[in-house]
Structure 1
Amino acid sequence: MYRAPIGLVQTSLDGDIEMINPKSAQLLMPFSQDGSLDNLYTLLQDSAPTLRQLAADADPASGIICESLRISLHPEAAPSPSSPILSLSMLRLVDDLLLAVFVDVTLEVQHEQQVLSRKLSEAERVDKLTGLPTRVAALELLQTALDRPATDTRYGCALLYISCNRFKLINDALGYNIGNQLLSLIAGRLGSTLRSRRRDGEVMDGLPLTARIGGDEFAVMLDDLLVPENVTGVAQRILDRLGRPYAIGPHKIYCSVSMGIVVQNRDSGNASDLLQDASLAMEDAKRAGDSRYAIFEPGMRASARQRRSVEDDLQLALAKNQLFVVYQPVVGLQGEQYIDGAIDPCAGMEALVRWQHPVRGVVSPVEFIGIAEECGMIDAIGEFVLDTACRQFMTWQALLGPRAPRKLAVNLSREQLSHPGLAGIVDGILRSSGMPASCLQLEVTESLAAQSGSVLTRLHELKALGLTLALDDFGTGYSSLSSLHQIPVDTVKIDRSFVRYGDTSLHHRILIDATIRVAHSLGMDTVAEGIETFAQAEIVRQLGCDKGQGYLYSKPVVAADFASWLTDTTVASKS
């Protein structure tokens, strides 16, 4: 045993070494700080600090202290020939002696690390769900394609960045299992679309690369395009195919995509930069609406930096209370006393958010609401506006009595409408502010209200609270007069683009008249937006519009100025 090819050490119960063979001496000497091999516990106090306690706690019946305990000269370091890793097995013998067996497993551990590294590398390069290359692999393959000299300068390379629209809502509503099945179907449909494209002869030798580069994002590289302009035809085909419904179990799921495109010669460009540019174009397409593509333009980089700057400033604005609410009157136009331009100033008001930027001054919501929706801040902003406006409304009720506005209107965004807990949030604000639900009107744009069944469900949940709903910007979205009865709203707000020409265009006047008639027949009232002249006001009043809103009466003003406007404007007096 003394000359065995494995390390053998015999010690006392206190760890004092009584016998050590040459192999153990060779293996353990690197662990000795002073060159001595006197006590095993002292020798291994840094590499196996619990060894003494393991020996004390060992089961007397079996005598086993430890089996294949791995110890390293440098526990925090990666295994290497200069940093040996030993396997220690230890047991208790008769006569209060301990036997330790040491085996050098450095090469074994290194092999395990190499196998694990290969597995991790493979997992890093192949998406387990779809079987497609991952982002890492896609970048490598894309760079290879870009670096390869083109055999003909006519041939180009295009990169398509594809993002699923509202995939998170599908996941939240139907569960991750359905979401994963949907992603697999999207990947399969994408692949079949590209294979059919190849049969149509739109590429030469290049093979389309499809990769999953994010949770619900894919990339397609079209190599050796015969004509770079062909990419738009391919893009539209992908949009059309992926926009069709997916059947998963009892569910019929619609999941459109948005796409960014970069067309590039292979002798220019870096893969990471190309992917980033395609991503910027995709975001631009997403902002334009569903099932769109956008081709990258250099100006998109500057726009992205500007949006990022606004996003950072907006985070600070929320923290430092730089947002505030302004109010625009909604006036009554009908009634025997409301003639010759006279109005009812107490009909209502609309609450709108503004941003007091420390450098840029007052910033319009047009410049930041879209960014707030993209970066997840719109819920906080929406709650701030609703809470502030409800409390201000109740303050005016107490101060002005019958001269106070009778209705408060607040806008809802796309992201707010997608929030399953929206009704609970609104109910909480109504309760905390003491505002009657019947005095609150929430506005949704026509395009949002006509979007999906989930939005309609959310609208019905809000209606159940006792508040009213208004369809904003009517005439600019997807719905029509014939489908107006399908949307659970109480008020139709006629878009300013119709009102602007109501006094000069017969076509616009007919559209306004038709909208008012249909709305009234469905028990809805109407508001004309963007009234700027007495002529416009008189036209919509004569056509039977119930209320009006616009700069003719007042621009949006802060709370103190709104109260002054109410005080100065008498019922049935000319504004």
Structure 2
Amino acid sequence: MAALTLLGGVLFVALPDGVPQATAFWGLQVPFDALLAVGAWRLRQISPARFRRFWAIIAFAGACFTVGDFSQFITFSSDSMNGGAVQTALFTIGMCSNVVACLIFPQGLETRRDKSIFWLDAATVLVGGGVAAWCYAYTADDQFNAGLTAALVVVAAFCATKVALIHEPPMARVAAWPMVAACALQGVATFLPGAFQDPTNPAVLFVRLLPSALIAAGPRIQEVLVRRGGSSRRIQRRPYSLLPYGMILLTFVIFFAMMPEHASSQLWGAALGVVVVACLVAGRQLVAFHDNMTLIRRLGEHEVLLREQASLDGLTKLANRITFNEQMAAVVGTREACVLLIDLDDFKTVNDTMGHAAGDALLVAVAERLRRSVRKDDLVARLGGDEFAVLLPGADAGIGGAIADEIQRLLNEPVEIQSHTLFTRASVGVAAAAAGDEPSSLLSNADIAMYEAKGRGKSMWVRYTDEMGARISAEAELIREMREALDAGQFELVYQPIVRLTDLKTTGVEALLRWNHPVRGLVSPVEFIPVAEKTGLIVAIGRWVLWQACRQGVAWLRANPEVMGMSVGVNVAGRQLKEHGFVAEVARALGETGMPASCLTIEVTETAVLDDQESLDALLALRALGVKLALDDFGTAASSLGLLLTTPVTTLKLDRSFVESITTVGRQSAVATAVSQMAGALELSSVAEGIETPEQRDLLLALGYEFGQGYLFSRPVPAARIDEIIGTPAWVPGSTITG
């Protein structure tokens, strides 16, 4: 096309003035027209289906131009006067085809409002162009050719409207603008006066040849874009278009140009008033458009802010949980990845002692250190509270472990918060996944590994293993079965007698929970009680134990009036003491079953009430009900002596670990002696657990212990066996162990 245009310029300069130049002009028009037809047809074959009809019609128009201009070339070559009509007819058909292509092309407008706006704007442009064309045709000497000029102006205007207004044009703008410019250039050239209309003027002919080159270039540019995959881009439509206002202005200019030379002042005044009012209204509307654009821009900025707030954590500006899950799902579905789950150790202490402002400042500092510890393309997120996560695309567990080491190193550096130096510790779980693994399981595995790190002593990272997953799965199955067991009545209580060491009479019992699983058989309390405490199921199970023990205690008291002072001990976990309404539940159980408060002993461990105000308040309230309190497994925690000064206990139970070797190990005997002396000094009852031999019983009695419990007297037995034991010695020297 560039070569053809250059050739045309050379011919116009080299050839003499007159007909030979016109002949060369029409001869060069033909290949340009053919290029348009061929280019449009090739685009029809490679473009999306919704564009094919458009390009087919454009190809037809190009074919009409080719035949018509070739006919005109033959006319000039043979000095025949018959070709002009053929060229005019085919030119008219081709231009009409272009208009039809634009009219039937899908606009990409979905709502009725958008369609109405488009057609109103397009109609404004068409009417304005039609007015200009009509006025020119009315004043031209050759009105038929002037009509063709009018068609050129209208088509150029309509094509410009299409490019400006539609969402999904059939051509990219870089390809459409040459064709639009060509139509506009042809229309403007037609209106040029005098020498610019001389068909023998070489410069004019060259200007008229340029539009043909531009029209032929458009499909070629579009073809290159389509084959490279860069043309299917949706154009953002502006809220308004200035094109209709330009056409209104053009109409006013033509209106004044066509006014009679001797028009009256009244006509001029009225016309001028109409134009001024219309311009003022248009100006006011443009101001409103500007205000709307300002509002839209502000709304866009607000939308960006809302999107940022929806995807980022407000405090640390890290990604939030939603963003992290989305990115993790996208990454894990296509490639291997590693996830680190980070939970700050003892973060609650910072909030409780220094306030939430200090806690927030610490979280911000931690977030910054996490950013520094990862690679460029890794994603750091705050999932909530003091829990963070890191997504490592393309990383295996080895890389995850190295980054976990770096995280631990950076977090161990001191942090200055409110003039205080803090040292941050964190437990980190590392889990890796291959491409196609389930994203949710990856985060779950990291969570399992993180809790494993906490269980091993905190301030470390642990890599997830299948053994951990199997253990957690088994624990989850155990939790499910415990829920079913409570409803199915699989739990039962057995009772171990507590005897007075002086006369070996049974003075009380300790209620012990057992689980008779229909498949597993008897499940050890060591296996399921810790899980029940961790999950909170101990609250529901403990409530059942309390009521069952109270009912059984009342039954024993009613059947044996002579042992009205016999107590029933019920073990209570720390989770139960913290439960709102626990004291009220105990009071209700006592009242509804008829169990005397003095016959109920609540047994708690030292760790359950260690430095816990809620638990201490519950113990004080229980003591106010008249319930006895026993400190179970005494001597195994670090703050035993301090607890004696703060908790309202009535009984100390020496842990079995100090009894098993009391007759052979001097230190155990010393501890047992000290506990007995403390109980006596504080006027507390003393019970020794785990007594299995007569020698242990004799030594403990000599050390001052009042009561004992162990296999020497009886194993835990069903409630029916306790009826046989009440009122009789639990053990006679020389007899075998009961139970």
Shift of the 149–425 alpha-carbon distance from structure 1 to 2, 3 Å rule, reads: closer
* Counterpart-to-counterpart distance in 1, 2:409 and 2:689: 37
Please point out which of 353, 358, 361 is paired with 1:188: 361
Please point out which of 445, 456, 476 is paired with 1:308: 476
* Counterpart-to-counterpart distance in 1, 2:412 and 2:556: 51
Q: Note if 1:161 corresponds to 2:342.
A: yes
Structure 1: gaps spanning 5 or more residues: 1-25, 29-110, 151-155, 171-177, 248-255
Is residue 161–residue 218 contact of structure 1 (8 Å, CA) maintained in 2? yes
The answer for the alignment partner of 1:77 in structure 2 is none
* Counterpart-to-counterpart distance in 2, 1:475 and 1:236: 38
Deviation at 1:528, TM superposition (A): 1.3
The answer for the alignment partner of 1:466 in structure 2 is 626
Deviation at 1:521, TM superposition (A): 1.3
* Counterpart-to-counterpart distance in 1, 2:400 and 2:446: 19
Higher percent of residues as helix: 2
The answer for the alignment partner of 2:388 in structure 1 is 218
Matches within 5 A, 1:129-140: 131-139=317-325
Shift of the 228–27 alpha-carbon distance from structure 1 to 2, 3 Å rule, reads: closer
Q: Note if 1:449 corresponds to 2:609.
A: yes
Matches within 5 A, 1:491-506: 491-506=651-666
* Counterpart-to-counterpart distance in 2, 1:372 and 1:353: 12
The answer for the alignment partner of 1:299 in structure 2 is 467
* Counterpart-to-counterpart distance in 1, 2:462 and 2:301: 43
* Counterpart-to-counterpart distance in 1, 2:458 and 2:566: 38
* Counterpart-to-counterpart distance in 2, 1:555 and 1:233: 54
Deviation at 1:526, TM superposition (A): 1.5
Is residue 183–residue 216 contact of structure 1 (8 Å, CA) maintained in 2? no
Please point out which of 554, 560, 566 is paired with 1:394: 554
**Which amino acid is the alignment partner of residue 676 of structure 2?**
I
- What TM-score do you get using the length of structure 2 for normalisation? 0.50
**Which amino acid is the alignment partner of residue 668 of structure 2?**
H
Please point out which of 478, 483, 489 is paired with 2:649: 489
Shift of the 230–217 alpha-carbon distance from structure 1 to 2, 3 Å rule, reads: closer
* Counterpart-to-counterpart distance in 2, 1:218 and 1:521: 52
Shift of the 144–492 alpha-carbon distance from structure 1 to 2, 3 Å rule, reads: same
Shift of the 423–535 alpha-carbon distance from structure 1 to 2, 3 Å rule, reads: same
Please point out which of 673, 677, 683 is paired with 1:517: 677
The C-alpha deviation readout for 1:367-392, integer Å capped at 9, x for no partner, is 22233233332221111101110110
Is residue 164–residue 217 contact of structure 1 (8 Å, CA) maintained in 2? no
The C-alpha deviation readout for 1:379-426, integer Å capped at 9, x for no partner, is 211111011101100100111222466111111112111113111111
Deviation at 1:535, TM superposition (A): 2.3
Structure 2: gaps spanning 5 or more residues: 1-110, 114-296, 419-423
How many residues are paired up? 435
Shift of the 527–380 alpha-carbon distance from structure 1 to 2, 3 Å rule, reads: same
Deviation at 1:444, TM superposition (A): 1.1
The answer for the alignment partner of 2:520 in structure 1 is 360
Shift of the 27–218 alpha-carbon distance from structure 1 to 2, 3 Å rule, reads: closer
1:464 aligned counterpart, secondary structure: helix
Q: Note if 1:127 corresponds to 2:295.
A: no
Shift of the 508–570 alpha-carbon distance from structure 1 to 2, 3 Å rule, reads: closer
* Counterpart-to-counterpart distance in 2, 1:149 and 1:27: 45
* Counterpart-to-counterpart distance in 1, 2:413 and 2:665: 38
* Counterpart-to-counterpart distance in 2, 1:520 and 1:372: 36
The C-alpha deviation readout for 1:190-224, integer Å capped at 9, x for no partner, is 4424656888xxx4755986533246643356999
Higher RCO structure, 1 or 2 (CA under 8 Å, sep 6+) = 1
Single out whichever of 222-231 and 408-417 deviates more from structure 2. 222-231
The C-alpha deviation readout for 1:229-278, integer Å capped at 9, x for no partner, is 78468559869989x9x99xxxxxxxx99835216599998754332112
* Counterpart-to-counterpart distance in 2, 1:330 and 1:233: 56
The C-alpha deviation readout for 1:148-207, integer Å capped at 9, x for no partner, is 999xxxxx977133278897xx9xxxxxxx99x9777545314424656888xxx47559
The C-alpha deviation readout for 1:108-133, integer Å capped at 9, x for no partner, is xxx9x999997876454223466442
Shift of the 431–299 alpha-carbon distance from structure 1 to 2, 3 Å rule, reads: same
* Counterpart-to-counterpart distance in 1, 2:689 and 2:413: 36
The answer for the alignment partner of 2:449 in structure 1 is 281
Deviation at 1:350, TM superposition (A): 0.7
Is residue 426–residue 459 contact of structure 2 (8 Å, CA) maintained in 1? yes
**Which amino acid is the alignment partner of residue 552 of structure 1?**
L
The C-alpha deviation readout for 1:530-570, integer Å capped at 9, x for no partner, is 22222222222221122111122222121112222336646
Shift of the 495–206 alpha-carbon distance from structure 1 to 2, 3 Å rule, reads: farther
Matches within 5 A, 1:82-121: none
Shift of the 482–387 alpha-carbon distance from structure 1 to 2, 3 Å rule, reads: closer
The answer for the alignment partner of 2:486 in structure 1 is 318
* Counterpart-to-counterpart distance in 1, 2:536 and 2:435: 39
Is residue 515–residue 524 contact of structure 2 (8 Å, CA) maintained in 1? yes
Q: Note if 1:555 corresponds to 2:728.
A: no
Deviation at 1:27, TM superposition (A): 5.5
* Counterpart-to-counterpart distance in 2, 1:292 and 1:385: 39
* Counterpart-to-counterpart distance in 2, 1:403 and 1:508: 34
Deviation at 1:294, TM superposition (A): 5.4
* Counterpart-to-counterpart distance in 2, 1:195 and 1:363: 48
Is residue 496–residue 716 contact of structure 2 (8 Å, CA) maintained in 1? yes
2:644 aligned counterpart, secondary structure: helix
Is residue 370–residue 407 contact of structure 2 (8 Å, CA) maintained in 1? yes
Is residue 493–residue 514 contact of structure 2 (8 Å, CA) maintained in 1? yes
2:496 aligned counterpart, secondary structure: strand
**Which amino acid is the alignment partner of residue 159 of structure 1?**
L
2:511 aligned counterpart, secondary structure: strand
Shift of the 317–483 alpha-carbon distance from structure 1 to 2, 3 Å rule, reads: closer
**Which amino acid is the alignment partner of residue 342 of structure 2?**
Y
Is residue 340–residue 404 contact of structure 2 (8 Å, CA) maintained in 1? no
Is residue 450–residue 479 contact of structure 1 (8 Å, CA) maintained in 2? yes
Single out whichever of 457-466 and 224-233 deviates more from structure 2. 224-233
The answer for the alignment partner of 1:66 in structure 2 is none
The answer for the alignment partner of 1:87 in structure 2 is none
2:726 aligned counterpart, secondary structure: helix
The C-alpha deviation readout for 1:505-543, integer Å capped at 9, x for no partner, is 111111111122122212222211122222222222221
* Counterpart-to-counterpart distance in 2, 1:453 and 1:241: 31
The answer for the alignment partner of 1:344 in structure 2 is 505
Is residue 517–residue 523 contact of structure 2 (8 Å, CA) maintained in 1? yes
Matches within 5 A, 1:226-241: 228=401, 231=404, 235=408
The C-alpha deviation readout for 1:445-467, integer Å capped at 9, x for no partner, is 11112132222122212211111
Is residue 161–residue 261 contact of structure 1 (8 Å, CA) maintained in 2? yes
* Counterpart-to-counterpart distance in 2, 1:303 and 1:374: 15
Shift of the 266–360 alpha-carbon distance from structure 1 to 2, 3 Å rule, reads: closer
The answer for the alignment partner of 1:439 in structure 2 is 599
The answer for the alignment partner of 2:499 in structure 1 is 331
**Which amino acid is the alignment partner of residue 127 of structure 1?**
D
Is residue 160–residue 221 contact of structure 1 (8 Å, CA) maintained in 2? no
**Which amino acid is the alignment partner of residue 259 of structure 1?**
S
1:451 aligned counterpart, secondary structure: coil
Higher percent of residues as strand: 1
Higher radius of gyration, 1 or 2: 2
* Counterpart-to-counterpart distance in 2, 1:127 and 1:527: 55
